[in-house]
Amino acid sequence: MRRREFITLLGSGALWPLTVRAQQNVRRIGVLMTLPESSQEGQAWVAAFKDGLQKAGWWESQNIRINARWGATDAASQRLAREIIAAQPDLILAQNTPTTLALLQQTTTIPIIFANVADPVGSGLVASLPQPGGNVTGFINIEGSMSGKWLELLREMVPRVNRVAFLFNPTTAPYFEYYVKPFKDAAQSFAVEAIATPVHDRAELESVITAQARPPNSGLIVMPDGFNINHRREITSLTAHYRLTAVYPQRIYTEIGGLLSYGNDPLDNFRRAAIYADRILIPACEDIDSCAHALCQSKPPISHWTAGRFCDGTGT
């Protein structure tokens, strides 16, 4: 197998090929983000991707052009995906599951790298981990079994907790069963009532969190979900107001007042995505069998606490 095929690893060690286009002086990269352009986190994530590209020798206005589209939510996702494809990029970076799905509806040939996806098989992005096929690769964000760990951490903080809700939006997190099932299994072993709590828009957040906070010894787990990220200020403010102990999947929640997060840093995945982009744009060697392959699992999760914020689960 020669340099016209790019091979990478997906998940538990699967390999898949991508056909590499002929080398050009200036290569085009599309970026599709769910977050709005005003998002500081989104800008930092894309900046990390660009920084990784620069370290590999790719510079904007010199040998690459980056065409980014922001706010790819709901109906806008398909329109923005079409705009990305119309620019005929050599590869596309997708933020998460919804943006990757939107792009796959527009192209099955342009290489797509996803930065943070929970369940690529269950979401229909790849056929399987051993033989994914297609034009997609990327980084698995947080494994489904992590939901059991979040529940364990919640019980360590509040040993009396016996009722825990799991917050997600089924539209922006079509993979929710990937996390809900392990959550319910863990809850059964802990003798905790597990409540899957879907929300569909911002207006539902307060009613759902209020209802969960009303009974004593209650808690909340916030699932990795683009909707939850976009509304993290409302979520952390509501849990603080109603004194509902909550565990979050990423540090961006604790940075604005959330109690505890346990998970990976999305910024790291964006930086590492540049390694894949470099391999797609210019294969690193003539004989692909001698090339080093990069794992696409996220780094081990880390905990982040907010000092001085703790609830005993009783609502008092």
Q: What does the alpha-carbon distance between residue 190 and residue 196 come to, in Å, rounded to a whole number?
A: 16
Residue 14 has pLDDT above 50, yes or no: no
Round the average pLDDT of the chain to a whole number and report it. 83
- In this predicted structure, the answer to whether residue 282 has a pLDDT above a threshold of 50 is yes
> DSSP for 128-197?
-SSS--TTEEEEE-S-TTHHHHHHHHHHHH-TT--EEEEEE-TTT-TTTHHHHHHHHHHHHHTT-EEEEE
3-state secondary structure of 275: helix
pLDDT in tens, 69-128: 999 988 899 999 999 999 999 999 999 999 999 999 999 999 999 999 988 888 889 887
For the chain, domains (ranges, CATH) are: 5-141+265-284 (3.40.50.2300), 146-263+301-305 (3.40.50.2300)
Q: Give the tens place of pLDDT for each residue, 238-257.
A: 999 999 999 999 999 999 99
Distance (Å, whole) CA 301 – CA 99: 24
Helix (H, G, I), strand (E, B) or coil at 304: strand
Q: At what angle do helices 266-281 and 40-55 cross, to 10 degrees?
A: 40
Q: What pLDDT, in 10s, does the model give residues 46-67?
A: 999 999 999 999 999 899 999 9
Partners of 67 in beta bridges: 30
> pTM of the prediction?
0.77
* Residue with the two structure tokens 């970026």: 31
Q: Which pLDDT belongs to residue 53?
A: 97
Count other C-beta atoms under 10 Å from residue 214's C-beta: 11
